[in-house]
Amino acid sequence: MTEPLAGYMRAVSLREDALLRRLREETAPMPLGVMQISPEQGQFMQMLIRILGARRTLEVGVFTGYSSICVARALPDDGRIMACDVSEEWTSMARRYWREAGVEHKISLRLAPAVQTLQELIDSGDGGYDFAFIDADKENYRTYYEQCLHLLRPGGLIAIDNVLWHGNVADQTKQDPDTVAIRQLNSRMLADFRVDLSMLPVGDGLTLARKR
Ligand SMILES: C[S@@+](CC[C@H](N)C(=O)[O-])C[C@H]1O[C@@H](n2cnc3c(N)ncnc32)[C@H](O)[C@@H]1O
């Protein structure tokens, strides 16, 4: 995808409103602002939520709230996101935008390591979720995948972000823990017939896994 073509694609398809644009502009100069999903990915996820008719969703990695606002807006009024993060600082900004977007009542934020939060949900007998978005620390991706798969209903969808990891996954000289973790999960998922699978070159790579 060239920059001019990406610009054209956005010009003819992106419907980002003023609130999301402001959130993106406030996040961009932050030291880790690049962690935010792209606006076209947010719009794509809204499409998924609506096609699925999702009501109950999981989010692993909130940051300043862009993906959670996109998902929350696509949910019905009684829809819910169980949102996991460890950062009080970043999620306080997310909370500010959730309030302004009128979606705060749809989002339960758990500030704790997501492995722990998801395990508590499993141990409490929770389940039947329609959708999960995994976008947090990469070394735990495999655990998040297993936990989310457990918590999903059959036919539910997991979206996993950064699966191409800036191209590093295809470069065997790159052996840092994050790259290795994503590469291993990608390979495992190909052979995992508990799910239907599709990997898309959206953003930094997005894998969709539909629980059979
Ligand atoms: C890539 S950002 C998420 C971006 C977000 N989805 C968006 O749309 O802007 C990753 C987030 O994962 C969180 N995180 C990192 N390690 C975590 C952990 N062990 N448990 C829960 N969240 C974690 C970080 O605090 C950060 O907010």
pLDDT at 85: 98
Q: Which two tokens stand for residue 67?
A: 């993906």
Distance from the alpha carbon of residue 135 to the mean position of ligand 1, in angstroms? 6
Confidence of residue 153 (pLDDT cuts 50, 70, 90): very high
Phi and psi, residue 55, nearest 5°:
-120, -35
Ligand 1 and 137: CB distance under 6 A: yes
Q: Answer yes or no: pTM beyond 0.95.
A: yes
Q: What is the mean pLDDT of the chain?
A: 97
Ligand 1 and 85: CB distance under 6 A: yes
Domain ranges of the chain: 3-211
Q: Which protein residue's CA is at the shortest distance from atom 7 of ligand 1?
A: 36
Ligand 1 and 75: CB distance under 6 A: no
Question: What digits encode the pLDDT tens for the residues 174-202?
Answer: 999 999 999 999 999 999 999 999 999 99
| CA neighbor of 64 nearest in space, from 44, 99, 42, 91 | 91
- Dihedral of CA 131/92/108/47: which sign? negative
Pocket test for ligand 1, best of 21, 35, 73, 182 (most atoms within 8 A of CB): 35
Q: Which protein residue's CA is at the shortest distance from atom 19 of ligand 1?
A: 113
Fold exhibited by the domain 3-211: Rossmann fold (3.40.50)
